[in-house]
Structure 1
Amino acid sequence: MEPMESERGMTMGNRGWLERLREYEAPNVTFVDADGGWPIVWVSARGEWVWDVEGRRYVDLTAGFGVAMAGHRSPALVRAIRAQLRSLLHGMGDVHPHVGKVELLEQLSRITFERWTGQGGGRRLRGRAVLGCTGFEAVEIALKTAQRATGRPWVVAFEGGYHGLGYGALNVTHRELFWRPFESQLRRFGCFAPFPGREEDLGRVERCLSRLQRRRAIGAVLVEPVQGRGGIRVPPASFLPWLRAWCDRHGALLILDEIFTGFGRTGRWFACEHFGVVPDVICLGKALTGGFPLSACVGRSDVMESAWPPSAGEALHTSTFQGHPVGCRMALEQIRELERRDLAGRAAGMGAWLMERLRGLRPAPGLEYEVRGLGLMVGLEVRRSDGGPATAVVLDALKRMLVRGFLLLPEGADANVVAFTPPLTVSRAGLERAVRALGECLDEAARATTRERPDHA
């Protein structure tokens, strides 16, 4: 059994720790179910496993929001952290750089634009980056880059898209739940187009972008190659190439938000590689370090040079913890680990197998299932037979999965998509048990929901 983080964790169960949390945390942060079935309180994690304060063990099929790509507490990462702590714990951001920051910037260029360009006799381009602390900060750096490089304020984003909750990112995050409470303080520079799920939807996207382009000065198009929080939505293969061509025609930057999809999640190093598209700017985070708040906005060198002038002593975008030494060292080790173990290749094979197993589930009475995804970014959408989202069934099923020892999250605006984004090191046996348990939990939840709400039978 994994040792407890501290003896205190053993003296109080989940419910006791959650009561203490509710006393001191702002009420809108952690959802605590009245019946005590959600959430659990983590105390330790290793590989694909998580332990709670009561000593129960769970298979983590979320990778901690997609962060623990090489597994929780990867031994290589732990060694890198310990080595860094012995030499440099804090740096000086944009003033006095440290060695690890320089090395990481070189590696980010190598795995993005240097790898994507220069083929077939073309000119090899470097990537130049601004580091941040969170994913939404990387998005906001990209938005600033687009405005400075093009001089045009408007950005096209997509329905269902999620790019974070900072005041800049809220302008391009679609779900009203997040931006409506702060609308009076937002300067709306984002406009939205439909996100296509099928080839037939592309005509509607084209008409929408043409209409927006006539009315507004579009400086950039921002898109997730696969929508994560939007419900694991995968666009048709021609969508990103079409967007690339549209941006080229109209002088707009193509910004890819690969905060969720990057670093092997979809079976390639970056999801854009499935579609043969090179962006102007790419936003990275989550799995970049495997467990430390660090993000990056990496742009084509000529774009970044036109957007950001040489520093005269004050950076236009920076922070106290910019390019933190521990985060940079972890990121360097994470990149080495992903390459050494070919975890992107493993994600491709395991993801195809997982989708096949999920497609083999027989829907519970009154429900319909749809499976979609790329690599180990897989969603099972659950709808009622009348076409409506089976939200209550999914939420009930995921609480039942928690009792059985599996951590899963719902995605999509209606929270009716069961999302699988496990560590890329997850065992096939763990996934097999999870699929079998999910089928049973959905059946149980459907029967329970029918008893409570017979109108949806």
Structure 2
Amino acid sequence: MSTGTAVAALDRQQVLTTLGRHWNPTAALMLAATGRQLESHARGSEVFAEDGSRALDFAGSYGVFLVGHQNDAVRSAVLDALETAPALVPGTVHPATADLFTQLTEILPAGLSEFSLGCSGAEISEIALRAAYLARPGRRRIVIVAGGYHGKTLGALTVLGQHEHRDDFTPADDDLVIVAPGDARAVREAVRAGDVAAVYVEPVLGGAYLRVPPADFMPEVAAACRDTGTLLVADEIQTGFGRTGRMFAVEHSGVEPDIMLLSKALTGGFVPVAVAAMTEEVLAGARRSPQWYPGVLDGTAVSALSMAAAAATIREVRERNLPERAETVGRALREGLKWAVRKHPRHLVDAPGIGLMTGLRTRNPSVENLISMQMAARGIHLGHSLNEQMDQPVLRFYPPLTVSAADIERVLAALDESLDWLDRRPAWLMRRISSLLRRQYRLPPPLVLKLMHSDLEVNW
């Protein structure tokens, strides 16, 4: 039985009931209310649903499916690893690990030659934090950018019952400095006293915001860090491996960070994995700390599958020159989105982006939701901001870097139809929808389904 047949055989009400009872009742409610079909499988730039319909994937799980769903080269590498050593005993190494490290050293900015491995971006972000505290003893403060996203775990160390492992790596609230996006002067002021261990920054602010900083932001932040001995942590989890039109987003400004965080697209969507790439200076400083011990910068054990998938994905990106493709094909997408903003200023604010990391900044959450729903009805999946409280959320367009020019034309045509439909909706209706969206999680679930004319029932 194929995957598609297996999924289609399941009763939709049964699937949503199970999801609602055992995983996420809100997600189950939204699936029931919107009538979105359940995905059964995917290939290239397309996803296929339980009813046999297909849709273009311009969400890409927020950048995970960089080389397309079920990429043949990556899939082959994963199957080879599966037949040899899918899981490794701690302390052993698979040849795919050496292959990955070789690939990384050939493409990373100069000096990033030491690697720590983990299974998620959040985990590797915490490992980088430990490295910063070890390498910069006596410094407790961390600088982050408002709206930045570096994972959403609270930090397992904060609840670790072994204080000798915990106390040196858990920042207090007053040790966290938050600066406005693109404000290099605020960063310089924050690090001026020399008591900041690290500055965490996304070269392009992702999350629900999607902001490309001023051209001088990253160079000025790097200079401020260099002048004060502060470590610069570049979070390239969304931007890495060609998404912005360069292999890494820091290449647009020529910045060489002390630590770089990598995940999401690294394995083409096959197996979760993450890497913290550090300079020799950072690792040497960490090793001089009294708190150093073997394994302090290790993450959760990774598999040969993830190593093989990561090495194969990087090879695909390089051999097919996907960063350049993101720049050239992405230009057409960005120009089309900007044209949509000019044509529909009532609903759209701007079209931020770079390469194939772009989107539409909408006037309010109701606009974002309605565009997303109209595009889904036309067979296009987009990346919702997942933030109904934000005044001007960004609806993301993150297709695989292998996307065709014809697919981009199809998406832009569907967008024009969707926005024309939206133009015909009265202003009072838009205000009412915005009000409902902001209160949707407090509305009785049966009422939500009734308002959306769904024939399913909430039995979770």
2:226: which partner in 1?
Answer: 248
Count of paired positions: 415
Q: Tell me how far apart the structure 2 counterparts of residues 312 and 145 of structure 1 sit (CA, whole Å).
A: 10
Q: Note if contact 2:125-2:150 (Cα within 8 Å) is conserved in structure 1.
A: yes
Q: Tell me how far apart the structure 2 counterparts of residues 449 and 170 of structure 1 sit (CA, whole Å).
A: 51
Q: Note if contact 2:8-2:40 (Cα within 8 Å) is conserved in structure 1.
A: no
Q: Please point out which of 341, 362, 384 is paired with 1:382.
A: 362
2:253: which partner in 1?
Answer: 275
| Structure-to-structure mapping, 1:191-202, within 5 angstroms | 191-196=177-182, 202=183
Do the aligned partners of residues 237 and 454 (structure 1) sit closer, same or farther apart at CA in structure 2, a change above 3 Å counting?
A: closer
How far residue 166 of structure 1 moved from its aligned partner, in angstroms, is 1.3
The residue matched to 1:19 in structure 2 has which SS?
helix
Deviations 1:28-52 (A, max 9, x none): 6x36327621654221000000012
The residue matched to 2:349 in structure 1 has which SS?
strand
1:425 partner amino acid: T
**2:352 pairs with 1:372:** yes
Do the aligned partners of residues 221 and 444 (structure 1) sit closer, same or farther apart at CA in structure 2, a change above 3 Å counting?
A: same
1:301: which partner in 2?
Answer: 280
C-alpha RMSD of the superposition: 2.8
Deviations 1:199-234 (A, max 9, x none): xxx4xx41x335534678211111000011142210
The residue matched to 2:225 in structure 1 has which SS?
helix
1:190: which partner in 2?
Answer: 176
Q: Note if contact 1:142-1:281 (Cα within 8 Å) is conserved in structure 2.
A: yes
Q: Note if contact 2:192-2:228 (Cα within 8 Å) is conserved in structure 1.
A: no
Q: Note if contact 2:194-2:229 (Cα within 8 Å) is conserved in structure 1.
A: no
Q: Please point out which of 117, 120, 137 is paired with 1:131.
A: 117
Q: Tell me how far apart the structure 2 counterparts of residues 194 and 31 of structure 1 sit (CA, whole Å).
A: 35
1:87: which partner in 2?
Answer: 84
1:133 partner amino acid: C
Q: Tell me how far apart the structure 1 counterparts of residues 423 and 11 of structure 2 sit (CA, whole Å).
A: 30
2:45: which partner in 1?
Answer: 48
Q: Note if contact 2:212-2:353 (Cα within 8 Å) is conserved in structure 1.
A: yes
Deviations 1:174-198 (A, max 9, x none): xxxxxxxxxxx984242200102xx
Q: Note if contact 1:4-1:44 (Cα within 8 Å) is conserved in structure 2.
A: no
How far residue 100 of structure 1 moved from its aligned partner, in angstroms, is 1.8
Mean Cα deviation higher: 390-399 or 361-370: 361-370
**2:421 pairs with 1:435:** no
**2:143 pairs with 1:156:** yes
Q: Note if contact 2:375-2:381 (Cα within 8 Å) is conserved in structure 1.
A: yes
- Compute the TM-score of the two structures, normalised by the length of structure 2: 0.83
Q: Note if contact 1:266-1:348 (Cα within 8 Å) is conserved in structure 2.
A: yes
Do the aligned partners of residues 456 and 167 (structure 1) sit closer, same or farther apart at CA in structure 2, a change above 3 Å counting?
A: closer
Q: Note if contact 2:366-2:430 (Cα within 8 Å) is conserved in structure 1.
A: no
How far residue 110 of structure 1 moved from its aligned partner, in angstroms, is 2.3
- Compute the TM-score of the two structures, normalised by the length of structure 1: 0.84
1:387: which partner in 2?
Answer: none
Q: Tell me how far apart the structure 1 counterparts of residues 265 and 11 of structure 2 sit (CA, whole Å).
A: 30
2:20: which partner in 1?
Answer: 22
The residue matched to 1:32 in structure 2 has which SS?
helix
Q: Tell me how far apart the structure 1 counterparts of residues 189 and 28 of structure 2 sit (CA, whole Å).
A: 41
Q: Tell me how far apart the structure 1 counterparts of residues 148 and 264 of structure 2 sit (CA, whole Å).
A: 17
Do the aligned partners of residues 410 and 9 (structure 1) sit closer, same or farther apart at CA in structure 2, a change above 3 Å counting?
A: closer
Do the aligned partners of residues 215 and 312 (structure 1) sit closer, same or farther apart at CA in structure 2, a change above 3 Å counting?
A: closer
**2:323 pairs with 1:337:** no
The residue matched to 2:327 in structure 1 has which SS?
helix
Do the aligned partners of residues 6 and 402 (structure 1) sit closer, same or farther apart at CA in structure 2, a change above 3 Å counting?
A: closer
Q: Tell me how far apart the structure 2 counterparts of residues 269 and 170 of structure 1 sit (CA, whole Å).
A: 33
Q: Note if contact 1:4-1:43 (Cα within 8 Å) is conserved in structure 2.
A: no
2:372 partner amino acid: L
Q: Note if contact 1:394-1:442 (Cα within 8 Å) is conserved in structure 2.
A: no
How far residue 452 of structure 1 moved from its aligned partner, in angstroms, is 1.9
Do the aligned partners of residues 454 and 226 (structure 1) sit closer, same or farther apart at CA in structure 2, a change above 3 Å counting?
A: closer
1:8: which partner in 2?
Answer: 6
**2:429 pairs with 1:452:** yes
Deviations 1:257-291 (A, max 9, x none): 00000001001000000111110100000111112
* Structure 1 runs not aligned, ≥5 long: 118-124, 172-184, 197-201, 384-389
1:355: which partner in 2?
Answer: 334
Q: Tell me how far apart the structure 2 counterparts of residues 5 and 265 of structure 1 sit (CA, whole Å).
A: 30
How far residue 70 of structure 1 moved from its aligned partner, in angstroms, is 0.9
Q: Please point out which of 137, 142, 149 is paired with 2:128.
A: 142
1:181: which partner in 2?
Answer: none
Q: Note if contact 1:101-1:323 (Cα within 8 Å) is conserved in structure 2.
A: no
Deviations 1:317-348 (A, max 9, x none): 435x5231000001111111111111111001
2:369: which partner in 1?
Answer: 395
Q: Tell me how far apart the structure 1 counterparts of residues 426 and 3 of structure 2 sit (CA, whole Å).
A: 38
Q: Note if contact 2:194-2:228 (Cα within 8 Å) is conserved in structure 1.
A: no
| Structure-to-structure mapping, 1:151-230, within 5 angstroms | 151=137, 152-168=139-155, 187-188=172-173, 189-196=175-182, 202=183, 205-206=184-185, 208-213=186-191, 217-230=195-208
2:317 partner amino acid: L
Do the aligned partners of residues 92 and 153 (structure 1) sit closer, same or farther apart at CA in structure 2, a change above 3 Å counting?
A: farther
